Amino acid sequence: MTRTIGKIRGLLFDLDGTLVSTKEANYGAYKDALEEFGYSLALEEFERIWGLDSRAFIPALIPGISSSTVEAVRARKSLLYEKYLDQTLPNAPLIEFLRLVAPMHKTALVSTAKSVNGHRILAAHGLESMFDVVVFGDEVTRSKPDPEGYLKALRLLGISPREGIAFEDSGPGQAAALAAGLRVILVPKFL
């Protein structure tokens, strides 16, 4: 007996680590921002929390840090990020796939990145026009692994979860997409 999965109408992509490798750029900007506030960030610590929203990982890294300092660090990181854009690298095969299938599908970007930096990454790699819908981390209340971003994108695309597939690289991102009812294609490290 053959089981059909239905017509796929929407493709939903994560940004950081999926379409573009941004770990080095994010690490550099967070490290610099935290140092300005008197904290240090080792690469090993950053790799452990990669994929989580900074509203969650900064307090986990620095117990007792005030919420106002967390917000100040996040704001400073956002400003510092631009100087690290040259350290971001595109996932060329996945971007080529996106370019081929985008004309026949609805597309969304669902990212924990702040919108200002997300738009900078998209512009740096010529991806601004590839998506019908874009949902960044500062446009939702709860970040991945919560499904809010994916649910919002599905609503804006006008499709049901069974009509979409998410492309994700991180555990929190996969959890968010699955909780939204999407099927997930795991994107392995591409560098």
- Is 191 part of any domain? no
CATH of the domain at 66: 1.10.150
Verify that 70 and 98 share a domain, yes or no.
Answer: no
Verify that 15 and 100 share a domain, yes or no.
Answer: yes
Q: How many domains does the chain have?
A: 2
Looking at the DSSP assignment, which residues form a beta bridge with residue 166? 12, 184
CATH of the domain at 16: 3.40.50.1000
Verify that 29 and 75 share a domain, yes or no.
Answer: yes
Task: Write down which residue in 71, 86, 101 finishes a domain.
Answer: 86
Verify that 76 and 152 share a domain, yes or no.
Answer: no
Verify that 53 and 147 share a domain, yes or no.
Answer: no
Output Rg (C-alpha) for the chain, integer angstroms. 17
Cα separation, 25 vs 85, in Å, equals 6
Q: CB–CB of 155/173 below 8 Å? A: no
pTM (two decimals): 0.86
- Is 2 part of any domain? no
Distances (CA, A) of 162 to 24, 131, 140: 34, 19, 22
Verify that 28 and 107 share a domain, yes or no.
Answer: no
Verify that 80 and 166 share a domain, yes or no.
Answer: no
Verify that 164 and 103 share a domain, yes or no.
Answer: yes
Cα separation, 128 vs 143, in Å, equals 22
Looking at the DSSP assignment, which residues form a beta bridge with residue 13? 109, 167
- Is 55 part of any domain? yes
Cα separation, 147 vs 161, in Å, equals 11
pLDDT, mean of each 10-residue run, the chain (191 residues)? 70 96 94 96 90 86 94 94 94 97 96 93 95 96 95 98 96 96 92 66
**Residue-range definition of the domain harbouring residue 101:** 10-22+88-186
Verify that 14 and 101 share a domain, yes or no.
Answer: yes
Per the listing, tokens 């300092």 go with: 69
For residue 75, give both structure tokens.
């704001």
Q: What is the pLDDT of residue 5?
A: 57
Verify that 74 and 165 share a domain, yes or no.
Answer: no
At 52, the amino acid letter reads L
Verify that 79 and 35 share a domain, yes or no.
Answer: yes
Q: What is the pLDDT of residue 1?
A: 47
